[in-house]
Amino acid sequence: MPRNAHAISRRQISENAIKVLYRLHKSGFKAYLVGGGVRDILLGLQPKDFDVVTNATPEEIKRLFRNCRLVGRRFRLAHIVFGRDVIEVATLRGHHVDSGEKISKTNESGRLLRDNVYGSIDEDAERRDFTVNALYYDISDFSIHSYGGGLQDLESRTIRLIGDPETRYREDPVRMLRAVRFATKLGMSIEPKAAEPIQGLAHLLKDIPAARMYEEVLKLFFAGKALENYHMMREFGLFEPLFPQLEALLKEYPNGETAKLLQEMMANTDERVAQDKPVTPAFFYAALLWYPLSQRADDIALESGLSSYDAYNAAMGDVMEQQCRTISVPRRFSTITKDIWQLQLRFERNRGTKAFRFIEHPKFRAAYDLLLLRAHAEGGALAKSAAWWKSFVEGNEDQRNVISRSTNKGSRNRSSNQRRRRKPSAKSAPKSAE
């Protein structure tokens, strides 16, 4: 598609991406803006990333850019760093023909372990996952190269795989998650041929490194489409390989507290993203795993006879360790998640005048938000406790004093009514007159 037939302008592309494209072009290499950056501009969206492909090798790219670092083992990439902005540059990929194990390698299920085979733009397009990502903006003449009917699929709002769907999913099972994410993000439908094998191949996600899955979860649930992605993942059987503890509870209690909390939490996350409020992995996992934690704590208390508080503390490590087998949650977040969990156990004991000190805790707000979500899911006594805290948190200083004093007075009255009158001891009994 020549320049006069499309609406993409260099003004819509980041300044740093333009710099990279022009330096590669002026150095005698082919250079293209590729994938999501081209796709989103054509759809009238603002791209988050601008990726570049070239026929220069990673080593040649590094020689051209002093601010370049090479990353990746499965496929070698160049990151051109401009402060906080990073432009990812890949070498055009080719087909696996007579390549040695050091260049390309697959495992028994067909997943690519190493993929450093270079080729032409035509070969690279055939190696792309979806047709709507096989779009190239050529900096030399400002034309667009579309492969596999990518432009037509953009118009028909269809997510279509390039090549045989089962083979492509086996090469990289994360493509199943990407299909879901693109469908919800772009308001498209997954082609039936591409959707059909997903449920039978969902188990392959268990073989993906946990560190990579952490990044994929951020893209799925922190971009404003958490609720839609959650429902579609469960529909295709993609939720269980990532969150096995949760899926077990959801299957046992389809309409229980776990399902209600997840629905509330996903909707709340989308609302915060829409309002440009911060969302953190620490709170996300605290809410996500609260009921698996409660169940594990109950089991420990039953087996060992520990108090509820001690059982919860023991269960925290077990639940987080099991989750990290599929999704590697960094310690800087998992530590805060445990803090939020511990504070849940303190809400009932810190009402009254103790509440003034409690709300000063640095993680109080996150713990309070989780309390409100739990109250929506559970109702009953927890809803009453959450209502008390809501009135206290939202009240001014005078209102808080009244609320805390009335709570303390009620507590003292209950204690005095329940206290038994003690019999006088022999030492305190009155002496008889002699």
Contacts 24+ apart (CB under 8 A), 370-376: 370/283, 370/286, 370/287, 370/290, 370/340, 370/344, 371/344, 371/347, 373/261, 373/264, 373/265, 373/268, 373/287, 374/261, 374/290, 374/344, 376/260, 376/261, 376/264
| Dist CA 273 CA 223 (whole Å) | 7
Q: E strands of 167-292, at which residues? A: 189-190
Catalytic residues: 49, 51, 129
Cα dihedral across residues 277, 283, 288, 290: positive or negative: negative
Asked if 121 contacts 146 with a C-beta cutoff of 8 angstroms, the reply is: no
Rounded distance, CA 400 to CA 422, Å? 36
CA distance 32 to 136: 6
What's 31's DSSP letter? E
SS (H, E, C) 358-424: HCCCCCHHHHHHHHHHHHHHHCHHHHHHHHHHHHHHHCCHHHHHHHHHHHHHHHHHHHHHHCCCCCC
CA distances from 130 to 150, 151, 191, 252, 428 (A): 8, 12, 11, 36, 89
> Which residues have C-beta within 8 Å of that of residue 171, sequence separation ≥ 6?
106, 110, 111, 112
Structure tokens at 358: 């409690």
